[in-house]
Chain A
């Protein structure tokens, strides 16, 4: 679905007012990856890492400085209009709906912009109305919608023409838990049932943990991770936490193979590698245990470690 080889984007930035100095910035430095049809993958990176520049090259907005991109068999920058019919894009903070019009009017306009046959339009719209529960606000002007409602509208707008590939930039930003959940379920469903390939750019690691099998991480223009989430945990998240509740508050435990991270009353947090049961046995020898749990490092923590490691 997507083939990227040695993709580079170089910007020339001019600095200073009078004596303009030309500074060359490589926003994306020779990245390569492939995405198969039907994948749902996360694209992650700190601000300014080159995420949106990559997406802009994949959608045909920007022309690459070097390297090769093929999306749905097309060169995006040369065949922008052809590609636009086959992909959907949603940029979280930008509004593609008509602000003053009822939501359904925007859909109607998009149907004509994308030349969607009316039968297919009716079928798609009926489906999104159900899955995203649009009916309560379908005839409300967009400016009066809540953020969650608007995002559901934007998602519908990006999907109405039945794209094979969907680019989503921060689709759940600013949403409450319930709305987030609904959007995630929707994305999972269109990916599973309709086979839509989804590339998800996000800061919300919850999105990624719940939805994606594969993760790309970009930092300073270079891909620093391309692989599954379990492998990522294994590689960067080797340390786990054993949280123990002791019978009474005690000094930090001194057990072999673990370091106490935190103490709060009778509860202690121990960082360790390797077997949890061996460590538990050792802890049980030195103190009376009431309760315990093992925590996997969350993906947020892992990503922080990746960024820190470069």
Chain B
């Protein structure tokens, strides 16, 4: 386990070195990622230009949700990669190379797509977070600080699990790239908005099936000391770490089944 972490660091280090070979191009990409992701936030602002409240949520509260989700999304993207090149890997047989190496396949995939420029988006999330917190007057205490500190890693694990399941599609369809994107960008988009404004079936889907509501909606309710507009049990606000572990377990099982399918059906 520890040895795997060291190997992961080596694999990531190698990619960082190669990405820093072209310093100017890297700097431009980083800056572009930073600014481009503001367009995303602009959409939130445009929405609030026409309305002062989204359900019971003010613009600053939504900004807080947005920031939590964005930071988690960007860090997930940084750490485990995007799976958007994965269908290509399966198609051209490069996944086979992973299968003849003495390491787990998921580990190798995670270690092969580290893009430092994705820090640009994380930085943008931090800027929005500072903006939101500057206006929200959160009554900070140990519990709230802890909640933010725990909910981001939990959100990263939840996003990772969802993306992994999305990546599995590549084993069944030849061109699953777009479908996989629905899991990554789509998930991020949904997590950025308060769950209670969505229709009830979508809400249930997000809370209980694809656990995006645990990415930042429930933690945000706690931090902002907001009564749950849906009246769900307060316990759910503390459930993110548990949900994250469960999601990771489910994703691992699905991944194994998908690889088994690939190996018996032969891509």
Contact = CB atoms under 8 A, between A and B. Distances in A.
Nearest to A82: B102
A241 to B, nearest CB: 41
Interface in B43-71: none
B142 interface: no
B22 to A, nearest CB: 9
A62 B11 CA distance: 26
A12 B266 CA distance: 9
B209 to A, nearest CB: 28
Interface string A67-86: 00000000001001110110
Interface stretch (A96-104, A209-217, A230-238, A302-310): A96-104
A162 interface: no
Given A98-B18, A101-B14, A113-B7, A62 B266 contact: yes
A27 B264 CA distance: 13
Interface string A81-116: 110110101010011101111000100010011110
B263 A77 contact: yes
Contact of B102 (A62, A65, A113, A141): A113
A91 B96 contact: yes
Contacts of B104: 81
Contact of B101 (A27, A100, A113): A113
B93 to A, nearest CB: 6
Contacts of A96: 97
Contacts of B94: 94-95
A109 B266 contact: no
Given A56-B266, A61-B263, A109-B10, A81 B96 contact: no
A215 B115 CA distance: 46
Nearest to A12: B265
Interface residues of A, number: 35
Contacts of B263: 61-63, 77
A203 interface: no
Given A94-B92, A101-B17, A113 B100 contact: no
Contacts of A98: 14, 18
Interface in A1-53: 9, 11-12, 27, 53
A59 interface: yes
A145 B14 CA distance: 18
Interface in A119-151: 141
A303 B10 CA distance: 47
A95 B112 CA distance: 13
A60 interface: yes
B28 interface: no
B10 A112 contact: yes
Contact of A61 (B7, B96, B103): B96
A11 B102 contact: no
Interface in B12-31: 14, 17-19, 21
A113 B103 contact: yes
Contacts of B198: none
Contacts of B96: 56, 61, 91, 94
Contacts of A84: 100-102
Contacts of B7: 112-113
B239 interface: no
Contacts of B100: 59-61, 84, 87, 89
Interface string B203-231: 00000000000000000000000000000
Given A81-B103, A113-B101, A53 B266 contact: yes
Shortest beta-carbon contacts, A-B, top 9: A100-B18, A84-B102, A63-B264, A61-B99, A89-B100, A85-B102, A81-B102, A63-B263, A96-B97
Interface of A: 9, 11-12, 27, 53, 56, 59-63, 65, 77, 80-82, 84-85, 87, 89, 91, 94-96, 98-101, 105, 109, 112-115, 141
27 contacts: A11-B266, A12-B265, A56-B266, A59-B100, A60-B99, A61-B96, A61-B100, A61-B263, A62-B266, A63-B260, A81-B104, A84-B102, A85-B102, A91-B96, A94-B92, A94-B94, A94-B96, A94-B97, A98-B18, A100-B21, A112-B6, A112-B7, A112-B10, A113-B7, A113-B101, A113-B102, A113-B103
Interface of B: 3, 6-7, 10-11, 14, 17-19, 21, 92-94, 96-97, 99-104, 260, 263-266
